[in-house]
Amino acid sequence: MVMGTLRQETELAIVGAGPGGYVAALRAADLGKEVVLIDERGDPGGVCLHEGCIPSKTLIHAAELLEAAREAKKLGITFGAPSIDLGGLRKFSRNVVAGLSRGVRGLLKKRGVELVKGRARFDGPNSLSIEGGGGVDFRHAIIASGSRPVRLPSLTTDGLWTSREALTLPESPDRLVVVGGGYIGLELSLVYSGLGSKVTLVEFSPRFLPGVDPDLVDVMVKSATRSIDGLMLESSVKEIAQEGKTYQVRVEHEAGEQTLEADRVLMAVGRQPNTDDLGLDNLGLSLDDNGRIPVDEDCRTAVPHIFAVGDVTPGPMLAHKASREAKVAAEVLAGQKSAFDNRAIPAVVYTSPEIAWAGLTEVEAKEKKIDVTVGRFPLKALGRARTLGQTEGLVKVLCRPGDGLVLGVGMVGPQASELIAEGTLALEMGATLEDLTTTIHPHPTLSEAIMEAAEVAAGSAVHAA
């Protein structure tokens, strides 16, 4: 790794080594490009690997293990009260992150990608300066600088956690208030309540996960009420004050005002793109109303030799979207025919049970006045779900009336994060209900629920009552 002290020239400079930037670097190098990859964190992997998806899924797995041990009672197996060694869990999570980051570094090295540590800023159409000295002159650049948690100026007391701090597992506070009931708020509320904290989750909207299909969210919320102490909707946090080691969180809702006492407060009110300190003016690039960089199907910006991928571009802030865009940008740069023309970007919320969907949802269909046929299959009617003792959930398949073209798949239940891949593939391949119903699904598995929901939509369900 080069520390940003010298000025160097390269064919392709990439800003940001997350799942957008490092994937673009690997693909471009494989296609013969000379690549310099710049990231202010010494290790590659970005927020996703170091302080997002990977540590959060490690902690979620720990919380699920604890829940599984409690639930085992149903099967006649009783464990003693668990003893949780936060140090041990922290070490496991750190090792997972370090191992994966080492792996990415090895892949970059093998392909001759030069990794430069430093904060990069465009100082001209073909040059980047690196904070602390040095710079890179390039023919092409890919902006993959990602996003960071939104900090509300009105709520800025010392010591507030964002997902970044919460995922380092500094402690398991007795009382935790979580502000924001979106992806991060829900996932981390479940982690900390699983570890023994008394959690109150405060959401501004009338629903948790606003915008996500209520049929799926309702099942998860019903289950979450058993583990999360307080679930508050239509509640807005107005003030957070610190008194000694305690936080006073003033919440306003329809019924009036309430002050919650907490030992920690986690802010999970959204993420914002890292586009404000990149010197984009020096490139002549403008941002959209959300501070994102508009791109075309090639992932090319309005400045033809500059590309952008991931959270800095419009669309969901998801690692897998960034990685797909990264491959497209690298391939287009290398002269290949490639385009981000994906029909579906799957989304997963790693709650308990998990929620996942791809393509059109029923809510969107109603909003856009798209006529759809919907097949629903409840997990309580599925053999494999019963053997697991996890029957809360359902699968929905949405299709076009007439030819049965699959338009969307949504689910809530165990392993939804894995099962959604079948729905996403069906959407990409332009599959119809017939494709789903005539494909033999192994029995007994959770995947049969997709086939069963498709049969319901097709009106040929043998297992429907």
What tokens does 184 get? 């991060």
- Which residues contact ligand NAD (rule: CB under 6 A)? 179-185, 187, 202-205, 210, 236-237, 268-271, 316-318, 348-350
CB of 45 to ligand NAD, least distance (A): 16
CB of 160 to ligand NAD, least distance (A): 12
CB of 248 to ligand NAD, least distance (A): 15
Q: Which residue's CB comes closest to ligand NAD?
A: 182
- State the Cα–Cα distance between residues 48 and 225, nearest whole angstrom: 28
Cβ proximity to ligand NAD, 61 vs 121, nearer residue? 61
Cβ proximity to ligand NAD, 135 vs 181, nearer residue? 181
Q: Is-contact 307 329, C-beta < 8 A?
A: yes
| Residue closest to 57 by CA, chosen among 391, 423, 352, 357 | 352
Cβ proximity to ligand NAD, 61 vs 111, nearer residue? 61
CB of 203 to ligand NAD, least distance (A): 5
Cβ proximity to ligand NAD, 143 vs 265, nearer residue? 265
Neighbours of 148 (CB within 10 A): 15
Own/partner pairs for 96-105, CB < 8 Å, 24+ apart?
A: 96/54, 96/55, 96/58, 97/45, 97/49, 97/50, 97/54, 97/55, 98/43, 100/45, 100/49, 100/54, 101/43, 101/44, 101/45, 101/49, 101/50, 104/17, 104/22, 104/44, 104/45, 104/49, 105/43, 105/44
CB of 56 to ligand NAD, least distance (A): 7
Cβ proximity to ligand NAD, 126 vs 236, nearer residue? 236
CB of 34 to ligand NAD, least distance (A): 33
Q: Is-contact 384 414, C-beta < 8 A?
A: no
443 is an active site residue: yes
Cβ proximity to ligand NAD, 185 vs 404, nearer residue? 185
From 305, 320, 443, 463, active-site residue: 443
- Give catalytic residue positions: 443
